[in-house]
Amino acid sequence: MTWSTLRHFLAVTGLAMAVIYASAVGLTGSMVLDAPAAAQSKGAVPGNFSGNISDAELWRAVRKGIKGRSSVKDPMAATLVQSEGDSWRAFKNGPLAQFGGWSLAAILVILVIFRLVRGQIKIESGLSGQTVERFNAVERATHWLTASSFVVLALSGLNVMYGKYVLLPILGPGAFASLTYYGKLAHNYLGFAFMVGVALMFVMWVRHNIIDGTDLKWVASGGGFVGKGNHPPAKRFNFGQKCIFWVVVLGGLTVSISGLALLFPFEITPWAKTFAVLNIFGFGLPTELTPLMETQLSVLWHSGVSMAMIAVIIAHIYIGTPLGMEGAIDAVASGQVDVNWVQEHHSLWAEEVGVSGSHSEGGEQPAE
C-alpha cells in the first residue's frame, strides 16, 4: 500500500467519524456521548419535544385528578385518576355500610322486645261486627303502589350494599350475577312507580298530617303504648302515622332526586346548587364539583337515607299487621275497619265521621 493510498483511506475514515459524531451530538444535545441520560437532558425531555415535566410531577398531577384530552365522548374519560374515589369507597363500604347494618339490627331487636313485653295490641272492646270505610279504593291502590315498589327497591338496594357478603357465598357467582342484574333493572324502573306513589300520597293525605296540639298530647301520653287502657285521642292519623307520612314524603323526595341524579349523572347535578345554598349559612362547602363527584355524593345520600327509611318502614309494617295490632291490616286490605277499632285508635276521627260503637269507657288501645 502506497503512502497516498493510506492517506486517502484515513481521510475518508476521519470524515465518516466526524459525520457520525456530529449526528450524535445533534440527537443527544451533549458533547459527551457516554454521559448519563439525565445529565444530557438536565431532567428535561430531550429537545423539549413532549414538554419538560418529569415523570414524578406528571404522575403527581394525574393523582390529583388533572384532566387531559380524550377522543372518547364520555366527559370523564380524560381524567385518569379521581383520588377522592378511594375515600368515597372507604366510607361507603365502611361507616355507611355499618350504619345500615346496625340500624336494621337495632329496629329488629326493638320490635322483638316490644312484642315480648307488650304483645299484640288488641281491640279491648272486641269486634262490634259493624265497619266504617277508612280508606277508599284510590287511597288503598296508592298505598300498595308505594309499598310494593318500596319493598322491591329496598331488597334490590340491600343486595347492592350487602349481597356480595351475604348472598354471593350462598348462590354462587352465576346466580348472584343474574339476581343482581335483574334487581338493578327492577330498581331503576320501579323507582318511577315509587315516585308516583309518594306524589299521590302527598296530595291525598297532606291535610290530615299537619302536626297540631293533639299530637303533643299524644306524645306526652307515650302514644298509649305504656300500659293498657291508656289511650290519647287521635284524629284520622295520629302522631306516629304523621311521622311515617313525612318520612316517606320527604325521604322519598330526596332519594328520588338522588336516584334520578344516578340515572342521569350529567344532566342532573343537585349537590353544587345545594351546597351553594347551604354556604349562605356559613357551611363553607365546595361548589366546584365534577359530574363524578356529584354521582359519588348522590350514592352516599341515596344509600344513607334509604337505610333510615327501611328501618322506619319495618316498624310501620310490624304495627300494621296482625302480629302488631289487631284489625289494623283491614284499613289497607278491604278499607273497612271495625267501629270499635276506630273509636279505640282514632276517637276524634270517629266523632268527625259520626261513628259509634259498643266499647266500654277507658278501654282504648294505642293508635296504629
- The pLDDT assigned to 46 comes to 55
What is the CATH number that goes with domain 97-352?
1.20.950.20
DSSP 8-state class, residue 321: S
pLDDT above 60: residue 19: no
**Would strands 131-133 and 336-338 be described as parallel, antiparallel, or unpaired?**
antiparallel
- The pLDDT assigned to 361 comes to 43
| Of 306, 298, 297, residue with least CA distance to 263 | 298
| Of 246, 248, 236, 251, residue with least CA distance to 331 | 236
- The pLDDT assigned to 223 comes to 77
- The pLDDT assigned to 299 comes to 96
pLDDT above 50: residue 300: yes
pLDDT above 70: residue 205: yes
- CB-neighbour burial class of residue 256 (10 A; exposed 0-12, middle 13-18, buried 19+): middle
Could you tell me the residue ranges of all domains in the chain?
1-31, 97-352
pLDDT above 90: residue 309: yes
pLDDT in tens, 226-259: 766 667 889 999 999 999 999 999 999 999 999 9
- The pLDDT assigned to 47 comes to 52
Query: What CA–CA distances, in Å, run from 148 to 82, 151, 263?
Result: 38, 5, 21
The arithmetic mean of pLDDT across residues 334-343, rounded, is 92
pLDDT above 70: residue 20: no
The position carrying cell 265497619 is: 131
- CB-neighbour burial class of residue 367 (10 A; exposed 0-12, middle 13-18, buried 19+): buried
The position carrying cell 350462598 is: 170
pLDDT above 80: residue 32: no
pLDDT in tens, 34-80: 545 545 555 555 555 555 556 777 777 777 767 777 777 766 677 77
- The pLDDT assigned to 116 comes to 93
| Of 266, 262, 264, residue with least CA distance to 74 | 266
- Position with higher pLDDT, 268 vs 66: 268
pTM for the predicted model, two decimal places? 0.78
Count CB atoms within 10 A of the CB of residue 200: 17
φ, ψ of residue 141 to 5 degrees: the values are -60, -40
pLDDT above 60: residue 109: yes
| Grid coordinates given for 203 | 296530595
- The pLDDT assigned to 80 comes to 74
pLDDT above 70: residue 195: yes
Q: Is the dihedral of CA 306, 311, 313, 317 positive or negative?
A: positive
- The pLDDT assigned to 366 comes to 41
Integer Cα distance of 351 and 343 in angstroms: 8
| Grid coordinates given for 58 | 406528571
Torsion of CA 321, 144, 140, 306, to 10 degrees: 80
- CB-neighbour burial class of residue 116 (10 A; exposed 0-12, middle 13-18, buried 19+): exposed
- The pLDDT assigned to 362 comes to 41
